[in-house]
Structure 1
Amino acid sequence: MSTKLTQLLEIKYPIIQAPMFLVSNTAMVIEAMKCGIAGCIPALNYRTLEELRAAIIELKKAKVAGGSFGFNLIVNKSNIKYKEQLRILCEEGCDFIITSLGSPEETINQAHRVGIKVFCDVVDLKFAQKVEGLGADAVIAVNNQAGGHRGNLSPENLIKELVSNCQIPIISAGGVGRKADIDTMLSYGAAGVSVGSPFIASVEANVTDEYKQACVEYGAEDIVMTERISGTPCTVINTPYVQKIGTKATWLESVLNKHKKLKKWVKMIRFSIGMNATKNAATKVTYKTVWVAGPSIEHTHSILPVKAIVKRLIE
């Protein structure tokens, strides 16, 4: 399965195990590399810079031929750790960085100096061309089938539009749970895929068994959009608790979000509350089940080791 992505990262298969907040860890990425794909972890999954450094060192020691590893960076002002996280990544080294939610210019410049490739999350052509102009090595095209904060365009429309107007490789994110889905994305012109939700129900994931089992028991029709986590629409499993609290912002939040001086603080408070709820649901037994996932859990029928999930994606 040779593509521009396999050539860029020197991997066997054009698959990135997507970075997932709270879910991704070194054990998952190590198994991914053993299977001949790339793995990525959000830098924010580590509370301290020393924990991040230790993870990089662990992954460098475990790296095998045909595998690759990287980290995801939130590159806007909301991530006060961003600059120091970037410094640690450049000091220790990794194969690639995926940027989200902000301008990747500084990341691209610093990472390229030490030989690290940079891929950038985009949801439309405007931003894809912008990051290409800044020197990105590839774009992660986040479509409307992705889990978490998704795009608005279908995989076919987004991939074909970007492929027709960009010179760098297009990596599709969203809607992949089996090999047939990968074949479809590649047929549209994608150089590879970024796959997240199917790996939530992996043995190696650090989330609760209840979260993993939910990905087994629920399917694509059970995924809904909610504004109650970060203030920005996000996909979650439609559990009884989600149904109880609703998916729309409260009337007070809606009013305050229109206030020029207050909306910034309202969003920050909503984000903090939502992230705390998501963390508790993922790591503790609680009735407040706010589980982030995408429709590709449709093909998750049991909790499996990472290597078995990769096998489903390549065979």
Structure 2
Amino acid sequence: MPRVRSLPIDAKTYQRHALHADDVVWVEKNCYIDVWIELVHAAGCDPYAMLPFCAAIDFEVDQWTFFKPKHEELFELYGIDVQELNLWRPLADHVAVHVGAGKLVAVEADAWWLPDTAGTDYRAQHTKTTIIINDFDLEDKRLGYFHNASYHALEGEDFDKTFRVGVPTDPAFMPFYAEVARMDRLVKRPKEELVALAKVHLAKHLARRPATNPVTRFGEALAGDLARLQAEGLPVYHAWAFATLRQLGAATELLAQHLRWRGDDVAVAAAEDLHAVSAGAKTLILKGARAVNSKKPLDATALFTDMSAAYDRAMQRLAAG
């Protein structure tokens, strides 16, 4: 089976998007939005336009919304059509034919076999994540894939384990969830068209925003959760912090970056408030780790008061503007 590739990019020379630059507050956001930022960028489109959905995030009792770009908006903005991929045969067979047809395949994967996670998950712990496959070579066992903040390559045993090459058929094996992204109707719109569409999308997501301040509710929950987190230790804290503080901080930073890209006065003012929320979440993730490790109290009342007020100001500005 010959090598197939959708986008003409190479892991050795790939330049990641500015949303993943080292100087942002949250370089890695979550596994799904990260790969879509880079896919849209690699396709020659502008990922800033797809970020209004971040306005609707909420605190969902024990986690913040695991925010994802909306498929219908990806199509409206860029002509990228995303559908579920029915894995009725081995994943490698599906990837070969779909990437060979100019599509990309998004699939959940085990980070144990992803070398770009060296130092964290690679060959260290089994963690479910999402990759988008762009370059597939079954004969030479090489893969080019988007993951986290960039575009990477893997080969050899990592390839075999990712695609279960040589593993006997197991009727009890449940395949990971997968999607296919069709690129044949790709549209590269000028900024003014993207801004107009993004304003429509933002109005829709603002209408879905939480009825009460979710930052305030989160602060109240943390006050009750801290003792449990201190008892369970840092590994549980890090999982909790990813589900809560990282999602809050990354989503508000992305929305702020979208609004700065938009550039009008109301948007820029709201962006400043959202940046304050994001920076506050980063401060809390560090303070929380110290409190859990030391078993000492954490008084975050003043910080949550400031973050809650900044969230309210941002939402009020956007709703009025």
User: Shared fold (TM-score greater than 0.5)?
Assistant: no
Q: Which has a greater percent of helix?
A: 2
Q: Radius of gyration: which is bigger?
A: 2
TM normalised by structure 1 equals: 0.28
The answer to which structure, 1 or 2, has the higher relative contact order (CA under 8 A, 6+ apart) is: 2
TM normalised by structure 2 equals: 0.27
